[in-house]
Amino acid sequence: DVQLVESGGGSVQVGGSLRLSCATAGFAYGGTFCLGWFRQAPGKGREGVASISRDGTKTYADSVKGRFTISQDTAKNTVYLQMNTLKPEDTDMYYCAAIAPTRPGWTECPLQQAAYNTWGQGTQVTVS
């Protein structure tokens, strides 16, 4: 079974930075896959933030473009989300998600929650 474990959340001042990590276990990096970061506020739906494919194609939500960067280190089986210039509206629980293999025809990894079938437990980010 694939397991995802997020870390790196915390409290930060407006304009600050955080780097989230998602350690993956049991994940087949040799095949096609998508890894994504999502966030969710209490009582709201889960919003896609960024995603990355096996070949490194990255997709970002408009709300984080230019501020957040997703990356992966396959040697460490880890995907990262570098978050800069943080705003109060970035306060949320952040989740790592995965799907492997990907669906036929995908040219980039989607930011829709329903596309992913494996989720981590989440890490809280608070910006104030």
Tokens read off for 67: 């501020």
Distance CA 118, CA 16 (A): 30
pLDDT of residue 109: 95
Taking only the tens place, the pLDDT of each residue in 77-123 is 999 999 999 999 999 999 999 998 888 888 899 999 999 999 999 99
Distances (CA, A) of 47 to 29, 36, 55, 114: 25, 11, 23, 11
Count Cβ atoms within 10 A of the Cβ of residue 90 and give its class: 0-12 exposed, 13-18 middle, 19 or more buried: buried
Taking only the tens place, the pLDDT of each residue in 12-60 is 999 999 999 999 988 766 788 999 999 999 899 999 999 999 899 999 9
